[in-house]
Every structure is written in structure tokens, then in C-alpha cells.
Amino acid sequence: MPQWVTGKVLDVNWWTPSLFSLRVCADVQPFKAGQFTKLAMQIGDKRVARAYSFVNSPQDPVLEFYLIEVADGSLSRKLSELKVDDEIYVDAQANGFLTLEEVPDADVLWMLSTGTAIGPFLSIIAQGKLWERFKRVILVHGVRHNDDLTYQTQIMATQRLFKQFTYIPVVSREAPQSGLAGRITEVLKSGDLSAYCGLHELPKSSHFMICGNPQMVKDTTELLIDRGFKRHRRAEPGHISVEQYW
């Protein structure tokens, strides 16, 4: 059962006509980078709740969420109307296993995301616990358009600070301004993704965290399984951890 607390909106940042970030002050319990909580609003006589990943690092007292206003979406439409000082419900208790705590040791950590699902990876990066554990960290962001490549200031700052970090935008519906053209699955299959990282193939000592569009998660997992990687389970360590957004 959710433990609802009242959150106050501190800031709303619109990146594009459909992508926005909310900064919220709410008294939630400690969470792990990569986890999500629930946000809710009263719609008519119903409290409508949906899951949203934390973008902020757990040590940051201000909560941040990165959202898309889904066409005809019931809660995302309502959340998109929020203004500074408005109130929402936040579940004080976080959930989810897409966290570094659940990832076994590997040389290369791949973070494969589409759309707003870059959020949990930004939280993990901001927390900073990954740099001692992995020789390389590769953040891949699959989006439709160049304008959907948000959080560039934070990502570029990480690139400047950590040589072991590689950021690869993958843009599917127009020519990319940087990075690769197509879908994550296509650039994985063609070898373009490895080549972009200066690798001949996907290193055996890799762990893949995959988050976002459920069909992307499914197709990418299948592709990696075909290449000899295994789903990771606590009882049976492997190479692939996933979270689907719908």
C-alpha cells in the first residue's frame, strides 16, 4: 500500500512541447539510485497514481522526475499542468531493482534507455558509486528526435570529469546531430554501437541495464541472449537487468 505524503512543486522545466521535469519537495524515505516511486493526483473522485523514477541522486534532498506528457494519458496530462507551489501526492516508499546494488561486478556497465527512461541512469550517475566498480560506463539514449536528447549539461559535465564514461545518443526519426542513427536494437545488431565505443564486439565481462519502451527492452534482451549473455537473477547471476516503463 502506498504511504502518501504531500509534495510541493518547486520547479517545472519544459525541455520540449512534450518532455518536462518536475522538482518536488517531499518527505520521502531513503531510496536507492535507480529506484522509482509513485506520484498521484486527484482526478474527479479518483486518486490516480503512476510510477516515476527518481532522476536526482539519493543524497539530493530535492526530488526530480523526468516525464513525457503522453497524448491522452490520464495522469501525465494532469501532471503537465502543474505549476510552482502546487501540491501532489508522493509515495514515501521507493521501489525497484534497477540499482547498482543488484548488479554483479563486470568490466563494462551498459545503460541502455529510451525516452524518459534515461532518468534512473542519471540518478545512478549523479550518485557516483559506479566509477570505482566499472572500467567503462556506457550510457545509450534512444530517442525519436534530436530535441528529445535532454539533460545535456549534466551529461557533458560527466563526460568531462570521467574518461571511462561514454554517452551515445541514438536518434531514430531524423539525422542525428551526434551519436548514431536508428534504434538501439539496430545499432547493437550492426556492431555500430560497439564500434562507436572503440570495441570490436560486446565484451564478455559486460552488464546491461535496460530501461524504457517494453518492446525495446524485450527485443534488446533477446538480441543479447542470442549473443550469449544471460538474464540476471539474484539466485543465478547473469548480465542483463531490465525495467519496463509500461
Among ligand NAP, ligand FAD, none, residue 172 binds (CB under 5-8 Å by kind): ligand NAP
141 vs 80, 151, 155, 183, 227, CA distance in Å? Answer: 23, 11, 11, 10, 21
> Contacting ligand NAP (CB under 6 A), which of 2, 8, 15, 18?
18
Binding residues for ligand NAP restricted to 121-150, rule: CB under 6 A: 142-144
Shortest Cβ distance from residue 117 to ligand NAP (Å)?
8
Closer residue to ligand FAD (CB): 5 or 70: 70
C-alpha cell at 214: 517494453
Among 45-53, 121-129, 170-178, 234-242, the segment contacting ligand FAD (CB under 6 A): 45-53
Give which of ligand FAD, ligand NAP, none residue 219 binds (C-beta under 5 to 8 Å, depending on kind): ligand NAP
Residue 49, interface with ligand FAD (CB under 6 A)? no
Who's near 196: CB < 8 A, 6+ residues apart? Answer: 166, 168, 179, 180, 187
Is residue 31 a contact partner of residue 53, using CB atoms and an 8 Å limit?
A: no
The type of residue at 91 is D
What is the Cα–Cα distance from 157 to 128, expressed in whole angstroms? Answer: 13
Select 47 or 77, whichever has its Cβ closest to ligand FAD.
Answer: 77
Using CB positions, name the residue nearest to ligand FAD.
73
Dihedral pair phi/psi, residue 141, rounded to 5°: -120, 110
Q: Does 215 bind ligand NAP (CB under 6 A)?
A: yes
Q: Which residues contact 129 (CB under 8 A, 6 or more apart)?
A: 33, 100
Write out the residues near ligand NAP by the rule CB under 6 A: 18, 68, 70-71, 114-115, 142-144, 172-173, 183-185, 213, 215-216, 219
